[in-house]
Amino acid sequence: DLVLVEQRVEPAKKAAQIIYKKLVGCLQSQQGLDSERRMKKLPLMMLSVSMAESFKDFDGDSSIRKVLEMCCFMQNFLARTLADFEMKLEKEVLVPLNKLSEDDLPEILKNKKQFAKLTTDWNNARVRSQTSTGPQAKQDGLREDVEEAWKRLESIKDQYSADLYHFATKEDEYASYFIRLLDLQAEYHKASYEFLKKNITELKESHKPQMSSSEEKVFGEPLLSHLQSCGRKIAVPIEECVGMLLRTGLREEGLFRLAAAASVVKKLKSCLDSGTVDQNEFSYDPHAVAGALKCYLRELPEPLMTFELYNDWFKAAAEKETDEKLKQLRTVLQKLPTENYHNLRYLVQFLSHLSEQQAVNKMTPSNIAIVLGPNLMWPRCEGETPLLDMASASSLQVVTVIEPLIQYSKSLFPEGTGTLHKSWFTVNLNFQLISAARRSFIQHKAPNLAKGPPVNQAGAFPAAQTRVFPVPLPRSSEIKPPPSPKPENTQASLPMLPEEGPQKKPQGRRPKVPPPQPPQALNKQLSSPAQ
């Protein structure tokens, strides 16, 4: 039994030494100090002091001040709790471990070494006595040495045995030091948790009105709950962004492909969340509007085309015959929840309208499907990050689903298409007419815009008129400007106006409504009427 106990002494000393040093390293305060002095040196107490200094700059009604005051009090309590915990830890665990590793066990190991030395001395004395062949007196002296060595060996043997028995009886007590460490940690964390739970609940209750605004956000919310809360059929971000893109984005090259400024996209998302969107502010940055729309679709908890129908979409798109493919796509569309179907129809019809301008915006149905498809459908992959889900969905398979939806939107979504297309066409036509008129006006306008006499059917001016007047502004449908007359042939090509024609207006008389002035850039370019 003593041999087994002896084998445990050295490991016990090593464990006590190592754990004592590591445990001291976990302390956040200095050893040997009382609770108050410990608390002043703790990082939590310094944090509490900083909070107290910070909330002094706020007025009494500030919600930030009230929260900081409460946080200051809570950090102070946590610092005091930590200081008390470390005081108990030092007294009940660290001090006993240090005594065990530096005093008790080293004394046992010292007696062990002494016992081994005296055993060797006794064996050597006995060997010398047994092998001696000298005089009797010498042999008697050697026997006395053996007896003396034996007495010393018996003495240290009794002491060493007593130490081992004592260690064996105290081994359970030594093990209890580590159990006490866990108990103290549990008490400390329990007290801190209960205090934090109680006060955080009170803090949230007192500031519920200020925090309730986060419940009204749009991005990241399920589609159905958002539609029910706002009483709409089309999600606010989809409807607002499509409306702005119809105004200025249809002819924008690389729409949905080119990235916009992150700050503008973030601001637009915040406005959509709060329900205060000024379309005039964001319409002239269509790439930011497209980016916000992509963010909304990507941040939906479930994709607009749903997890459940993910494989059904690919099966339908895999059909080789166009008629059969469209038939299968209609079948899958009918399986969509009503709210998903309405929003997908609204969005796809817009994308189809966008692809009609592909000659200008370079966004074919295929290009649109590549950049927008991964935001409309992705698989449900448990245990993987959304980024990996998006990467797995951005494949050619997704393009095979989204592209025919855009190409054959009028066939796949026959109901309500006329109304939507009529509104889109009206907005787009007005914008195109204004743009065409502006471009035509700039191209054909001469520097002198004074109103001249009317022309006859041949387009000639009276012979008496010596000034060269600008060509009349063409209609918005006219694209190509008429060729400018050469200066040297202008006078020769002016036939006589019949006498019954309208009279020339007096020199210097101005029209009642002044015509628009040319841009400053054209003043330098059009230096003469001929130019």
Listed by start position, the domains of the chain span: 1-207, 223-381+390-432
How many CA atoms lie within 13 Å of 202's alpha carbon, on the beta-carbon side?
Answer: 11
The neighbour count for residue 75, using CB atoms within 10 Å, is 21
> Comparing 226 with 129, which gets the higher pLDDT?
226
> Comparing 339 with 210, which gets the higher pLDDT?
339
What is the identity of the amino acid at 211?
M
Q: What is the SS3 assignment for 375?
A: helix
Task: Write down the CATH superfamily of domain 1-207.
Answer: Arfaptin homology (AH) domain/BAR domain (1.20.1270.60)
pLDDT at 454: 41
> Comparing 32 with 490, which gets the higher pLDDT?
32
d(CA 410, CA 402): 14
pLDDT at 129: 79
Q: What is the SS3 assignment for 460?
A: coil
Confidence of residue 208 (pLDDT cuts 50, 70, 90): low
The 10s digit of each residue's pLDDT in 226-280 is: 999 888 999 999 999 999 999 888 999 999 999 888 999 999 998 888 888 888 8
pLDDT at 299: 93
How many CA atoms lie within 13 Å of 499's alpha carbon, on the beta-carbon side?
Answer: 0
Alpha-carbon torsion (261, 262, 267, 273), positive or negative: positive
Tokens for 56, please give them: 């002094």
Q: What is the SS3 assignment for 251?
A: coil
Share of residues in the chain with pLDDT > 70 (%): 74
The arrangement of secondary structure in 223-381+390-432, i.e. its CATH architecture, is: Orthogonal Bundle (1.10)
In degrees, rounded to 5, the angle at the alpha carbon of residue 430 between the alpha carbons of residues 428 and 432 is 65
* Alpha-carbon dihedral 213, 215, 216, 219, rounded to 10 degrees: 120
Contact call for residues 448 and 511 (beta carbons, < 8 A): no
d(CA 265, CA 140): 107
Alpha-carbon torsion (85, 91, 97, 98), positive or negative: positive
The neighbour count for residue 315, using CB atoms within 10 Å, is 13
Residue 325 — φ and ψ, nearest 5°? -60, -45
- DSSP label at residue 252: -
Q: Integer distance in angstroms from the first to the last C-alpha of the chain? A: 118
Kind and range of the H or E element at 468? none
pTM above 0.85, yes or no: no
Q: What is the SS3 assignment for 142?
A: helix
What is the identity of the amino acid at 113?
K
How many CA atoms lie within 13 Å of 486's alpha carbon, on the beta-carbon side?
Answer: 3
d(CA 297, CA 142): 102
Mean pLDDT of all residues belonging to the chain: 77
What is the identity of the amino acid at 317?
A
